[in-house]
Amino acid sequence: MTELNPDIEQVILTEDDIQSKVALMGKQISEDYRDADLLLVGVLKGAFVMMADIARAISIPAEFDFMAVSSYGSSTRTSGIVRILKDLDLDLHDRNVLIIEDIVDSGLTLSYLLKNLKGRKPRSLEICALMTKPEVQEVTLDIRYHGFAIPPTFVVGYGLDYHQRYRNLPYVGTLKPHVYED
């Protein structure tokens, strides 16, 4: 078992929780897109870990692309303002696109992305999100593949950072208060 990082207060999702869920999601995606021309779009930086795991849980041919957006700056509150820092390399026209997101908080980032990507005329556009925070979600989103509903607290790990750290933790957890004060 992985040793717990000393800055972590509480583990919200264990490595086993995440790995079993991602395996299930990958299986379902492979069935649903069996004869489709699947293109997975990962939202950087957070989704890079999930993208790597889900890629290997998918058994059908698929392509992968990434875009980088910024909605948080370096604080722990969403601003509602989304900036595209890196756009996709591939053309989405007539493709079956599946967005891979690690976490949906207010939903503002995804809702902006959906609007932006829809404009590129994909054949289909769906969302796969590992975590949502239903209590603070401000916009309704149709999430086709959903992992876990978590409490409305700030979490790190499995791709998610605080000041660019903790992304490499294989689990998801909350930080001890002193980390914010330091």
Residues that bind ligand 5GP (CB under 6 A): 43, 46, 71-72, 78, 101, 103-109, 154-156, 160-162
Number of residues that this document lists for the chain: 182
Nearer to ligand 5GP, 36 or 44 (CB): 44
Task: Say whether 77 sits in a helix, a strand or coil.
Answer: coil
Nearer to ligand 5GP, 60 or 141 (CB): 141
- Minimum separation from the CB atom of position 141 to ligand 5GP (A): 9
Return d(Cα 34, Cα 163) in angstroms, integer. Answer: 39
DSSP 4: P
- Minimum separation from the CB atom of position 59 to ligand 5GP (A): 27
Please give the positions annotated as active site: 105
For residue 139, CA distances in Å to 45, 105, 116, 123 come to 22, 10, 16, 23
**Is the CB of residue 85 less than 8 Å from the CB of residue 70?**
yes
- Minimum separation from the CB atom of position 163 to ligand 5GP (A): 10
Nearer to ligand 5GP, 51 or 103 (CB): 103
Return d(Cα 147, Cα 66) in angstroms, integer. Answer: 20
